[in-house]
């Protein structure tokens, strides 16, 4: 079976890097481009983090393109309190001096949708700004992309940046609304899945790092500040990996053990609930379903994918 073409959009920080590593080292997928957007960290840092990860994975052949440096309407809010000032755990990595590929990420995505029309899987790991801009620039893009996997939102409506909103959706809710209204075939893997099915407890983190490859050490070490945040703020038993569980599902949809189709909309105006993606779980609104939502995932299979990836280098 030939590798499936993937285009990845990322605000590269510690968990994004692990997600990129999963895709960049898996021969089931062909990464035809990586777009970078501001989110977890400012754009310049996110670009350097993506380029560093590409280098660690030995995949200099995969183009990395610079995208939007701010949300559509709101000022940028970052998650450097979670991922570290550099986004990669502040462990002293040399995150400067690498050059991205020519061309804007929005143009690269549109071009990839033409080159791989009817085949391209789009995976988003950050705010949806680049995707919304692509839809605005070329509304026909929705006719060429048969699958969009989004790390974002939470089916239980528990947030990690305010009481009800997940970070990626909170950063640029106006872009989320554009994407929800676009007609793209959307599949959401929310933060609830990460909290429940993608937590790496300390003993498991030690086991994975002990695989001993440069990639294993990189993927675990860059979680340093995330682990501290999870212990003090989100009260998890270890650090969670939202973007990697979304990427694992994108690569192998059978990792999802339960999915549901429903109508989603996002709160753009409220200061209290900004970025909340409201999921009509009981169908009260009678509005047309516009997304598939992963409700549960297989933790053991996810961990096995991590093991296999970390052993490859």
Question: Which DSSP helix (H) or strand (E) runs through 110?
Answer: helix 105-115
Cβ–Cβ < 8 Å for 302, 15: no
Low-confidence ranges of the chain (pLDDT < 50): none
C-alpha neighbours within 13 Å on the C-beta side of residue 173: 20
Cβ–Cβ < 8 Å for 291, 184: no
| Predicted pLDDT at 313 | 66
Q: Which domains does the chain have, with CATH numbers?
A: 4-310 (3.90.245.10)
Q: Record the pTM.
A: 0.97
* pLDDT tens column, 203-258: 999 999 999 999 999 999 999 999 999 999 999 999 999 999 999 999 999 999 99
* pLDDT tens column, 94-105: 999 999 999 999
| Predicted pLDDT at 2 | 87
| Predicted pLDDT at 1 | 67
In sequence order, which residues have a C-beta less than 8 Å from that of residue 99 and are 6 or more positions away? 51
Q: Would you state the structure tokens that stand for residue 110, as one six-digit string? A: 């549109």
**Alpha-carbon torsion, ordered 156, 40, 149, 61, to 10 deg:** -160
Rounded to 5 degrees, what angle do the CA atoms 30, 34, 38 make? 155
């Amino acid at each position: 079976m030939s590798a499936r073409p993937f285009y990845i959009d990322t605000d590269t920080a510690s968990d994004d890097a692990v997600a990129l590593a999963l895709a960049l080292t898996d021969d089931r997928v062909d990464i035809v481009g990586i777009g970078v957007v501001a989110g977890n960290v400012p754009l310049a840092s996110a670009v350097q983090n993506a380029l560093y990860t590409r280098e660690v994975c030995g995949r200099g052949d995969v183009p990395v393109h610079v995208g939007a440096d701010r949300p559509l309407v709101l000022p940028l809010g970052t998650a450097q309190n979670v991922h570290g000032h550099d986004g990669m755990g502040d462990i002293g990595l040399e995150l400067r001096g690498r050059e991205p590929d020519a061309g804007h990420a929005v143009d690269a995505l549109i071009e990839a949708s033409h080159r791989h029309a009817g085949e391209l899987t789009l995976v988003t790991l950050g705010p949806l700004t680049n995707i919304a801009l692509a839809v605005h620039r070329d509304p026909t893009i929705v006719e060429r992309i048969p699958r969009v996997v989004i790390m974002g939102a939470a089916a239980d409506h528990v947030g990690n940046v305010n009481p009800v909103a997940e970070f990626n959706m909170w950063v640029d809710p106006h872009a989320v609304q554009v994407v929800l209204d676009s007609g793209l075939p959307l599949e959401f893997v929310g933060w609830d899945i990460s909290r429940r099915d993608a937590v790496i407890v300390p003993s498991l983190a030690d086991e994975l790092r002990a695989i001993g490859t440069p990639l294993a050490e990189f993927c675990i070490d860059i979680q340093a500040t995330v682990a501290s945040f999870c212990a003090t703020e989100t009260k998890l038993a270890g650090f969670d990996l939202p973007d990697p569980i979304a990427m694992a599902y994108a690569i192998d949809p059978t990792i999802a053990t339960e999915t549901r189709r429903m109508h989603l909309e996002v709160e753009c105006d409220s200061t209290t609930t900004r970025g909340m993606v409201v999921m009509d779980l009981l169908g009260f609104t009678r509005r047309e379903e516009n997304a598939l939502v992963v409700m549960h995932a297989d933790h053991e299979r996810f961990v096995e994918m991590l093991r296999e990836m970390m052993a490859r280098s």
